[in-house]
Amino acid sequence: MENTPKKTARPGKVKSRTYEELWTRPGYLIRRLHQIHVGLFAEECGGEDITPVQSAILSVLQGGEEMDQLTLSTSVGIDRTSGADVIRRLERRGLVTRMPSEFDRRAKIVKITDAGKTFIRRVRPRMAKAQDRLIAPLDDDEREEFFRLINKLVDANNEASRAPMGTI
């Protein structure tokens, strides 16, 4: 009796007819695309000890502007508790500082450090490569349409989120 290897799905042929309904659910597909992005991000940024959410926070701060922790959290679409945790981790690594607000002692003001600026500048090309790999199958017109449609969905449904994005 011959040992034949099991056939695995080829790239682009991952849909199973058994679960065809999943491939018509936008929430499932968006979640799946997010999982793929996290994998690509980990491949490109491996060894840097950074997550996509941490990179978003550093990207918002990299212009040098300081802002309160709650505003920063909502600007990247995470809740207050998650934001505090992510910012605390970045602070431990010396990438940001937190200090009490001079206007509201309960609020914490977050600012990127020089080390944080250097770090995000160094890692940015690798983060961009993960983004590029994610949308590589799309031609220029498809990319433009993809971003137009996904932004439309995000804007229209922002308030339904557990952590609605704020503006800064």
Position 90 in a domain:
yes
**Does residue 103 sit within a domain?**
yes
43 assigned to some structural domain: yes
Whether 70 contacts 107, CB under 8 Å: yes
Q: Considering all CA atoms of the chain, what is the largest pairwise distance in Å, rounded to the nearest integer?
A: 78
The residue range of the domain holding 117 is: 22-137
8-state DSSP, 107 = S
Name beta bridge partners: 110: 67, 98
How many C-beta atoms lie closer than 10 Å to residue 95's C-beta? 23
Per DSSP, what are the bridge partners of residue 112?
Answer: 96
Domain membership of residue 9 (yes or no) is no
- Give the closest residue to 40 by CA, choosing from 126, 155, 147, 144: 126
- pLDDT at residue 167, rounded to an integer: 64
Structural domain includes residue 41:
yes
- Give the number of domains in the chain: 1
Per-residue pLDDT of the chain (168 residues; tens, 9 = 90+): 444 444 444 456 666 656 778 888 999 999 999 999 999 999 999 889 999 999 999 999 998 889 999 999 999 999 999 999 999 999 999 999 999 999 888 899 999 999 999 999 999 999 999 999 999 999 999 999 999 999 999 999 988 887 777 765
Report the CATH number at residue 107.
Answer: 1.10.10.10
| Domain assignment present for 168 | no
Please return the burial class of 113, using the count of CB atoms within 10 Å of its CB with bins 0-12, 13-18 and 19+. middle
In a domain, 162, yes or no: no
pLDDT of residue 21: 83
Residue 122 belongs to some domain of the structure:
yes
